[in-house]
Structure 1
Amino acid sequence: MNQTPLKKTYEKALETVAKYEKRQRQLAAIEEELSSKLQEFKYIKFKVDKKGKRVLFTGLHSVKEELLIGESDCRSNDKFEDVIGKLISVKKALNEDVEAVVNLVEESGAAHLYIDGKLITANGFNGQIRI
């Protein structure tokens, strides 16, 4: 027998869809900015290490005629998205500010625990809690 979802369940689903759509718009904007930045180069190469959560960019700048190199690394609890890593590495190669892009990095869902206002993640947790 099928049951009609509760209003709360429906509202939660709408919230999830809104978050997903917002994230897709953010990623599309990142791809557009990356494409624009890559227009400044004659030759480009990315080395993407998904396991190591690292992106290395090398590119020959069209105007400067210089080989520029940039690298991005994810923290252990960050979700790796290669398009974000690529944009960060390109912007670093161009000596541009990356803060706005870094702020779009999502966490991978690591467990968090706050004790006395101090954040403790699963990566830094030593198994001893005193309350």
Structure 2
Amino acid sequence: MVNKFWGQTLRQWERQTGQQHEKIIQQRGNTRQRLPLAPGSSVLEQDQHTKTWNRTGTVVESKGNRQYLIRLQGSGRISLRTREHLRPCNAPTTFDRQGDNSQLMDEVVLLTPTPPATTTTALPWQKETTPPTMAG
């Protein structure tokens, strides 16, 4: 025969796990919905080591399950990435291998989000001081 204490403990555990399960479902329902990428569209690819958006490419094929085959600019290498690591951009889709690409790369860099400028202001309890100048 099972002790009443264990029955109460089991019911309490079932209630807690049910509440945790509902909370997880609510959190997963708030995930960001990203639009699918069409083949031929230009994208920025995130470097997974440095977390920077510095690679550009063109969508070659959609593989399903939010996976895309991307042809990287410059090397022409094919890369498989999920939608999470891709951003659509309006960059040019072709690069001149012999010519100067600095202007094109400047356009790509301008499309990446820039962090807000930080200002250095003194905290309320600190005095603002100007750095000493060297008189010579």
TM-score calculated relative to the size of structure 1: 0.32
Say which one has the larger Rg.
2
